[in-house]
Structure 1
Amino acid sequence: MVVEPMAVEVDRFDQGALGRGAALASLLGDWTSGPGPLYRKLADALARAVREGALRAGDRLPAERELAGVLAVSRATVVGAYDELRGREVIERRQGSGTRISRATRAPLSDGRVRGGGAGTIFQRLIDGPGPLISLACAADRGGHEVTEALQDVLSLDMDALLGDPGYHPRGLPVLREAIAEHYTAHGLPTCADQILVTTGAHQALVVIAEVYLRKAATVVVEAPSWPACLDVFRSASAELVPVPMDDEGIEVRALRAALVEHAPALLYVMPSYHNPTGVLMSEMRRRQVVELAARYDVPILEDNAYAGMGLSDNALETPAPLATVAGDEVESVMVESLGKAVWGGLRIGWVRGPVEVIERCARRKALADLGSPVIDQAVAARLVPRLDELARNRSAGQRERCTALEELLRQRLPDWRWRRPDGGSSLWVELPDTNADVFAQLALRHGVEVIPGSTMDHTGGHENFLRIPFTHSQDVLEELVQRLCRAWAELRRHGPQDSAPLRPII
């Protein structure tokens, strides 16, 4: 039997990792804002997704009841939206196969999304800006006066030297690579500049590493939960992700061993220092166990230390040694770090630390991407890296105060919510009692808060009642945030999903 192209399109959408309803909700974004009845706003949002190519001809939409449950609206709202879209000839009903995007629709070749990914909403908010929402999509802080001082030094002292060559440094500005190498060496991890590749943020570092390590049908073992933007990098390289659960000491050892034995992965990806989103600091014992397993089964380790130094205790910098230190020569270990959390994400300075031959392969891909990161930004970073411990300590002190403030607000206003105080990082990983966080996220949007539900960070379904709440906002914003969350929670608890169904005159 010949399979029509339409059937391929159906599979593409139906096999989304989050399920059709939750996956579709993530495409719609802040669809409830603006005037008009909800059913018409939902119809407009679905039609926009078709125009932009996020939904394509033949994609099967969720049943009315399923989508209503995920969006926290009545079934009548979804029925009204689907009726509206049928009138516009955007969707069609097929006997035995449900509601689908009309075959007559024409959309762009690509909307730029990673299929099956979970970071689309986060990146779209960066593109659109927060608007009137309090967005919890980005857990990053503003830059400090140290950046200004470093920039002034560069402009007054270093510009002649910087302008003395063409400005292309695919491996990174030599003075910055030396500074990063000296930073690691001072912390007990002997490193030379040839083991460092400077990248445009940690995200690009993950991209070039994925290009080096991942071939077609490769497998990557990851923690569950994990940060969706990082997972989407591996998905974009067509890798299969094998999630392994975590406990209070990091990735679970027995489950990790089973995953390594069964899947023989090309890479093990972990965030040992203040894991995102849980804030867990992997214990020293667990680090040794992870390295031993990686050595036994010959699996390279990709260590993401984006939150290095960002602990919430008074001795936050006294964290266990990086996995790269524990691994020594036994395991091929690659480490990613950046200035994004401890200093400022706007510098877009990250780096890879690894074996010289791996760095060389990464540098070739970096050169193909952009010929090298901006030189002035790197010169500023070179003045900041020697102060990285001090800057991380100062940033952590502010984070500690705001974390305490957010916890107190939540205990007062939402006492049935539960969380484990993070060891570090910039967010609380909050458990909602008996509530799907995707549903709550829809109600929160109507109260002016954009939350990131746990389903985007763990497609196994293990954290569907969790959400991440950053404490990077100021005190007044945190207070307003908790007030809005409280109103959304009260609506859900007292009344359940509410909306305005379309009015249909009876004639």
Structure 2
Amino acid sequence: MKRGNDLELNLVPGSHAPLYLQVAEAITEAILQGRLHPGMALPSVRVMSERLSVTVNTILAALRELQSQGWLTSQERCGFFVTGTHPTEAGHPSENKPDPPGFDLPAHLRPVTSTANVAMDLSDGCGDARLAPFQALGRAYQRGLRLKGAQLMGTRDPLGLSRLREALANHLGSHRSLSVDPDRILILRSTSMAVTLVAQTLIGSQGGVVAVENPGHPEVWETLRQACTANLRSVPVDLEGVKVDALEAILEEGPLKLLILTPQCHFPTGGRLGTPRRSQVLELSRRYRFPILELDAEHDYLSAPESLAALDPGQVLHVGSLSRIFAPGLRVSYLVVPSALAALLARAKQHLDWQGDPAQEWALSELFLDGEIQRQILRVRKAAGERSEALQDALRHGMGDCLKWRSGAMAFWMEGKGFLSDPLAFNVWVKACQARGMKLRPGRYYQLDGADLAATRLGFTAFTPEELQKAVAMMR
């Protein structure tokens, strides 16, 4: 077997193609120039990685691309070989428009953002449906319907199916140091539903001050405004999380009804609330008697310290999500609350979601008992690590002179540097990305006061390394 170990490969300087495609182009060039002959084995992945100063995953992505095009074939334990055949290519999408209604619409209503020109929604990290365990989930549904079908279709527990709450209580105890009675857990459809329930129950039409992180989560702010009469006050965030002195200044002005935090992985910057500040925030919560709503949807993607709710279950309401480890279409979240609050929130939940989805909840409880949830967590964590690495590789080679970034659990927080440090220039760049089919948000979207910011959030967990490298190439 002849192997091209002496093969010299070079990336084309200034190329705007995705990094893995630049590698693929260098290999096809070697084939076309006769430096690699049909049947010849390529150098090992590690050798090519060292010669080109790119990651092993980028080399593998290039080789898989060339294999799919027909340039290469692979043999287990032997590597990749030149076939000498030529690549082929394939095709694209379509559109639609609705008729207006026969009545006048209120002026305050706003439509959902159009996705007509969106090829890749990079505005947030979400689960990749292609990684979901469909067969295991299908079997779990079948078992539930076969064994308990009539009961599940007629069941109504305002807290959610007890079997799933018990499984979640065990999971939270072993993975988040959160010792919790199942009767303190509510099964919900989304994080927004959790925010709505808490806002309706603790604030309602009487109103009051709600402190939120800034930059922060605009969807949470909008949900609060719709669910109650809230006066939103921003607490600035730095690398260690919310600034405690700014929170104290708000407290000295008057009572606080609620503080909403993302302490494990701050939305949108990916930072973590430092240990000293955790203690300080909890101490303020006890002294001034206000509850904390802890949003922790991304926890399963990282090894984080114990939740705030584990440190003080009497002050903190904890929100988690199973949708993030499966897919956006599987809508399941949960809310852990102090025991005195569970029945009150369950009553409010009945008005939003009378029946729940007992069949889905049974199926998920089966996945917990089978160990499939833990396997899925390991699966998505591994994929997220590879995708984060590929994205950093592409950004370093393609945009390292104009962007700096911080890697979070499911997304990067990207800030402009050089000419993109100017918020105006950064916004122009974001619009250019949007015009090319990539959904990104301008920095002001994450600011409570709408102030310009040369930054954006880029979600990576829903896309393969190859797709992410294509996206970075289109950004340039």
Query: Is TM (by shorter chain) over 0.5?
Result: yes
**Whole-Å separation in 1 of the counterparts to 2:117 and 2:159:** 38
Q: Which residue of 2 aligns with 1:109?
A: 106
1: distance between equivalents of 2:415 and 2:138? 38
**Which position in structure 2 is the counterpart of 1:482?**
472
Query: Are the equivalent residues in 1 in contact too, given 2:172–2:178 (CA < 8 A)?
Result: yes
Partner-residue secondary structure (3-state), 1:419: strand
Query: What does 1:316-355 align with in structure 2 at a 5 Å threshold?
Result: 316=303, 319-329=304-314, 332-355=315-338
Superposed displacement of residue 461, structure 1: 4.8
Q: Are 2:437 and 1:448 aligned? A: yes
Which of the two has higher C-alpha Rg? Answer: 2
| 1:464 counterpart = 2:469 | no
- 2:163 pairs with 172, 175, 187, which one? 175
Give the structure 1 partner of residue 241 of structure 2: 250
Whether 1:358 aligns to 2:341 is yes
1:176 Cα deviation after fit: 0.6
Cα 1:461–1:229, aligned 2, differ >3 Å: closer, same or farther? closer
Instruction: Verify the 8 A CA contact 2:263 2:296 in the aligned structure 1.
Output: yes
Q: Decide whether the 8 Å contact of 1:206 with 1:233 is kept in 2.
A: yes
TM-score (normalised: structure 2): 0.71
Report the Cα distance in structure 1 between the residues aligned to 2:363 and 2:402, rounded to whole angstroms: 42
Following TM superposition, by how much is the alpha carbon of 1:163 offset from its aligned partner in structure 2, in angstroms?
Answer: 2.0
Instruction: Compute the TM-score of the two structures, normalised by the length of structure 1.
Output: 0.67
Offset of residue 301 of structure 1: 0.5
Change (3 A) 1:251 1:130: farther
Letter in 1 for 2:201: V
- After TM superposition, give the deviation of residue 281 of structure 1 in Å: 2.0
Match of 2:215 among 225, 242, 247: 225
Identity %: 25
Does residue 369 of the first structure (1) align with residue 352 of the second (2)? Answer: yes
SS of residue matched to 2:407: coil
Give the 3 Å change call, closer, same or farther, for CA 295–130 of structure 1 in structure 2: farther
Match of 2:282 in 1: 291
Deviation at 1:407, TM superposition (A): 1.7
The equivalent position to 2:136 in structure 1, one of 138, 144, 149, is 149
- What letter is aligned with 1:161? K
Tell me the amino acid that sits aligned with residue 239 of structure 2: D
Quickly say closer, same or farther: Cα 1:273–1:299, change in 2 above 3 A. Answer: same
Give the drift of 1:239: 1.1
Describe how 1:149-228 pairs up with structure 2 within 5 A.
149-156=136-143, 159-164=146-151, 166-186=154-174, 187-215=176-204, 216-228=206-218
Contact 2:317 2:337 (C-alpha < 8 Å) held by counterparts: yes
SS at match of 2:200: helix
Q: How many angstroms apart in 2 are the aligned matches of 1:52 and 1:268? A: 40
| Cα pair 1:170 1:372 within 8 Å, conserved | yes
- Which of 421, 424, 433 is matched with 1:433 structurally? 421
CA drift of 1:310 comes to: 1.5
* Cα-Cα RMSD: 2.8
Residue correspondence of structure 1 range 109-128 to structure 2 within 5 A = 109=106, 112-113=109-110, 124-125=112-113
- AA at the equivalent of 2:309: A
Cα offset, 1:207, TM superposition: 1.2
**Residues in 2 aligned to 1:419 and 1:261: alpha-carbon distance in whole angstroms:** 37
Matched, 1:417 2:402: yes
Deviation at 1:147, TM superposition (A): 4.4
Q: Return the alpha-carbon distance in structure 2 between the equivalents of residues 304 and 433 of structure 1.
A: 30
Shift of 1:272: 0.8
- Once the two structures are superposed, what CA deviation does each residue of 1:286-322 show, in whole Å capped at 9, x if it has no partner? 21121111112111000001111312xxxx2xx2111
Residue 193 of structure 1: CA displacement? Answer: 1.5
Q: Secondary structure at the match of 1:108?
A: coil
Secondary structure of the corresponding residue to residue 452 of structure 1: coil
The one-character-per-residue Cα deviations of 1:62-83 (angstroms, maximum 9, x if unpaired) are: xxxxxxxxxxxxxxxxxxxxxx
> How much has 1:356 moved relative to structure 2?
2.1
Distance across 1 between alignment mates of 2:403 and 2:433: 18
Correspondence 1:140 to 2:126? yes
- Give the superposition deviation at 1:430: 3.1
The aligned amino acid for 2:448 is: H
